[in-house]
Amino acid sequence: MKKFFLCLILLISISNIFCANKPLKVSVKITGKSGAYYHAKIYIINQSKSNITFWMWTCDISDSFVFNTTAASFNVVKICDGNHLFPYDLSPNKMYVFEIDIVIDRKKILNFTNLRLALIYNRDRIHKELIWCDKPIKYNW
């Protein structure tokens, strides 16, 4: 019986670590369409009570995000002087908005109804984790 409760407490503790609210919230809104490209805004919001710094590439912003399917990718136009990691400082309850074009493989997306995007959260240029948008990306694909 003691082992059962010890395991239960351990599982609850572990689930709280993994299910705890993330300091950053990611959401995506499709704002329009031009040909094969879907124009999107990616919102990164600081939900914590303190400043958060995260690192992203200066030229390859799209390399800081990942989709949960190969049916979606980014239309990347690389015009840049130099690509390096840049720290983004975000105050509590503030947000950054990134505008980017998404390319959808229509044959694959028709069978996929749960399109999500994740920020590859670089806390300190070494430690990375994925922060998934909390809701699927909605649009009439």
pLDDT at res. 16? 32
**Tens-place pLDDT, residues 77-92:** 667 777 777 888 999 9
Among the residues of the chain, which ranges form H helices?
A: 2-19, 106-109
What values do phi and psi take at 97, rounded to 5? -120, 125
pLDDT at res. 18? 35
Position 65 pLDDT exceeds 70: yes
pLDDT at res. 7? 37
Domains and CATH numbers, the chain: 22-132 (2.60.40)
Residue 64 Cα to chain centre, angstroms: 8
Highest mean pLDDT among 28-42, 55-69, 123-137: 28-42
Q: Which residues contact 75 (CB under 8 A, 6 or more apart)?
A: 37, 100, 101, 102, 103
Q: Which residues contact 62 (CB under 8 A, 6 or more apart)?
A: 74, 76, 100
**Tens-place pLDDT, residues 95-118:** 999 888 999 887 777 666 788 999
